[in-house]
A and B are shown apart, each in its own frame.
Chain A
Amino acid sequence: MTSPAASHSPAATSASTAALASKFLGAGLAGLALTAIGFFVSHNSAGVALSYVVGIAYWSAVAIGMLMLILIHHIMDSGWSVVIRRQFEHGLAAFPWLFALFIPLLISVRLQPGLVWPWMDLSHEIHGGHTVGTDVLYLKKQSFLNPGMFTGMTVGFFLVWMWLSARLRKASFTQDTDGDTKWTFMSRRTAAFGIPLNALALSFAAIYWMKSLEYHWFSTMYGVWFFSNCIRAALAFGVVITCWLYARGDYKGIFNVNQFHCLTALAFAFVVFWAYITFSQYFLIWNANVPEETFWYNIRETGDWFYVGMLILFGHFFFPFLFWLSYRRKSTRGPALFISIWIALIILVDICYNVLPALKDHHGEPLPFLSMNLVWVLTSVVGIGGICVWAYLRSFATTKLIPIRDPRIVESLTYHEATAP
C-alpha cells in the first residue's frame, strides 16, 4: 500500500484507536485521582461525594439511554438504525466499569451512612429540631429507604444492565461471524422483557440515587424525567460518535445524510419530550401549590440556582428546539454536532440542578451552584467519563464497524427519505 493510503489502513486506524483509548484512560484516572484527593483532603467530603454521584448519574444516563435505544431498535424491528446500533453496543461496555466506580459509594453507605444520602443516618438532624429517625415521613418510607435496600437495589440495577448488555452484545457480535438470523430473534426477545426491566431499573435508580436526597419530596414524573435525559444524552453522544467516525473516514460512504437526519430528528423529538415531562412536573406542583412539594422548587429559586433553572429552561429546551427546527441544521454535521455537544453539557447542568441543592450550609440554605463543588463535579465527570470512553474504544477495536450480517443492514445502508435533497 502506498504512503497516502497507509494512514487509512486498518492497522493504522486500530493503532490510532488504541492511542486515543489510552489518552482517555489517562484522563479518567487523573480525574478519579483528583476526586479522591478532594475527598480525603478537603473539609467538604460530603460535597465531593455528592459531586461524584452527579458524575455516576451522568455517565450512567448515557449508557442507559444507549441500552434503551438498542432495545427500542430491536422491539420495533427498525431498519435505518442498524448502522448506528453497533456504536451504542460498544457504549454498553461501560456498565461493568460504572458498577466498579459505584462501589466506593456503597462502601460509604457502610462506613459513613448519611454522608451522601441524609436518611441513612437516623440521628441526622432535620428542619425543626427532629431527627430522621423520628420523622414520620421517613418512618413511613423506611422499608423502602434503608441502606440495605439501597445497596441491594443498586447492585440489582447494575446486574440488570450488565445482563441485558451482555445478551445484546453477544447476539450482535456473534452474528458478524455466523450470519444466523436467530441472533436477531434473540435480541427481539431480550427487548421484549428488557424494556420494562430497564424502565424499572432506571426509574428506581433515579429515585434512590437522586430523588431520595430530599426524601420528603414527591414527584411521579421523576423516573420519566431521568429517562428523557438518558435518551437525549445517548443521542447526543451518538451524533458525536458519528461525526468522529466521519471525520476519521470510517463512515464515509456508509453513513449518509438520510440516516444522520433520522438520528438528529429523533434527538429533536426528545428535546420536546424532555420539555413536556419537565414542564409537567413543574406545572403540577405549581398548580397544586402544596408545601410538601413546592419546597423542592423553592430551594432551587434561592441564590444562583434560580439562574441555573433559567439556563435549563432556555438552554435545555428553547435553544435546541428553535435551533433544530430547520432541516438543514439537523442534516448538516457541523451544526448538529455543535448542538449535540451543547445538549450533552446542559444535561450535566440538569443533573447538578437535581442533586447539588441537597447540600445545605449551616443555615439550611443550599450551597450555590458556582462553588468548589463544581470543580469536584468536573473532576468526577472527567474521571468517570474517561473510563467509560476508554471502555467504549476498547470494545470498538474488537469488532466490525457495522453489523455486516444483520438481516436489515442493506436496508439501513441504502436508507433514503423521499424528501431529502
Chain B
Amino acid sequence: MKKSYGLIAAFDTTPALFHACEQVRDAGYSQWDATTPFPVHGLDAAMGMRRSKVPRFSLAGGITGFITGMSMIWFLDAFDYPLIVGGKPYFSPMFAFPVSYELTILFTAFATIGGMFILNKLPMHYHPLMKAPQFVRAMDDRFYVVIEAADPKFNTAQTRALLEKAGGKDIAELEE
C-alpha cells in the first residue's frame, strides 16, 4: 500500500456529521475536512474554522495601491518632469486622489483574488479523496469526515477510535 493520506468516516445524517465535527474540533485536530453533498449552515462553526485571512492580502494591496498612486503622480509631475497644468501646484493630494483611489481599488482586487488562490491552493489538479470510491456518494446522499495523516495529532488507532466514537461508519484509510 502507498503512503496513507488519512482516515475517512461516513455519516448518514446532517446532525450526525455536525456533532462528529464538533468532537473532532474539540479533540484538537487541525488538518481535516468535512465533505457534504450540499452546504450545511453552521458547519464552519462546528468545525471550529476561523475567518479567512484573505482580508489581510486585501488591506496590503489597498495600501500599496494608494501609495503607488500618490507617489507616481508626485514623481511624474513634481520631481521627474515638473510641469504646471491649469495653474495648479506641481503636486497636490487633491488631483492625485482620484487616481490613487482607483489604484487602491484595483490593487485591492488583485490582492484579494491572488490571496484567495494562495490560501485555498487552487488550482489543485489532484486530491487523494478524488480516487476514493466513497467520494461518489459525497456528491449524492452521504456525509464524510476526512482526517489527514499530516495532522500533528494523527495516530491511526486513536483517530480511528475517535471517529468510531463520533458515530462514523465504514471507516477506511485513504491512499496518498
A307 at the interface (CB under 8 A from B): no
- Closest B residue to A414 by CB, please name it: B41
Closest to B52 in A: A419
Considering the complex, give the chain A residue whose CB is closest to the CB of B49. A421
List, in ascending order, chain B residues with CB within 8 A of A419's CB: 44, 51-52
Instruction: Check if B94 sits within 8 Å of A283, measured CB to CB.
Output: yes
Q: A418: which B residues are within 8 A, CB to CB?
A: 39, 44
Q: Is B150 located at the chain interface by the 8 A CB criterion?
A: no
Q: In the complex the two chains form, what is the Cα distance from A416 to B86 in whole Å?
A: 52
B97 touches which of A279, A327, A421 (Cβ 8 Å)? A279
Q: Place the interface of chain A in its size category.
A: 10 to 19
Contact with A along B44-77 (1 / 0, CB 8 A): 1100011110010001000000000000000000
Q: Is the CB of A287 within 8 A of B51?
A: no
User: Does chain B have a CB within 8 A of A325?
Assistant: yes
Say yes or no: A286 contacts B39, CB within 8 Å.
no
B residues less than 8 Å from A325 (CB atoms): 59
CB-CB under 8 A from B86, the residues of chain A are 287, 289
Q: How far is the CA of A416 from the CA of B45 in the complex (A)?
A: 11
Docked Cα-Cα span, A414 to B40, in Å, equals 13
Determine which of A279, A287, A414, A421 lies in contact with B50 in the assembled complex, contact meaning CB atoms within 8 Å. A421
Whether the Cβ atoms of A416 and B41 lie closer than 8 Å is: yes
- Given contacts A418-B44, A421-B50, A327 and B95 within 8 Å (CB-CB): no
The residues of B that contact A327 with a CB separation of less than 8 Å are 51, 55
Contact B51–A421 (Cβ < 8 Å) = yes
Main DSSP-derived SS at the B contact region: loop
Chain B 1-57 residues near chain A, CB threshold 8 A: 39, 41-42, 44-45, 49-52, 55
Give the docked Cα–Cα distance between A39 and B152 (Å).
76
Judge if A111 is at the interface, Cβ distance under 8 Å: no
Cβ–Cβ contact A289 & B87, under 8 A: yes
Asked if A420 is at the interface of the complex by the 8 Å CB criterion, the answer is: yes
**Minimal Cβ-Cβ distance residue in B for A289:** B87
The residues in A between 374 and 419 inclusive whose CB is less than 8 angstroms from any CB of B are 414, 416, 418-419
* In the complex, B82 has a CB within 8 A of chain A: no
| Assembled-state Cα–Cα distance A287/B86 (Å) | 9
Q: Which residues of B contact A283 (CB under 8 A)?
A: 94-95, 97-98
Residue in B closest to A275 when the chains form the complex, CB atoms: B101
Q: Known pairs A418-B39, A421-B44. 4 more at Cβ < 8 A?
A: A279-B97, A286-B94, A416-B42, A421-B45
**Minimum C-beta distance from A303 to chain B (A):** 22
What is the chain A residue whose CB lies nearest that of B58?
Answer: A325
Contacting residues, chain B, for A279 (C-beta < 8 A): 97
CA distance A421 to B45 in the complex (A): 6
Closest A residue, CB atoms, query B87: A289
Do A287 and B87 contact each other (CB < 8 Å), given the known contacts A418-B44, A421-B45, A421-B51? no
Identify 15 residue pairs between A and B in the complex whose beta-carbon atoms are under 8 Å apart, listed by A's number.
A283-B94, A286-B94, A287-B88, A287-B94, A289-B87, A327-B51, A327-B55, A414-B41, A418-B39, A418-B44, A419-B44, A420-B44, A420-B51, A421-B45, A421-B50
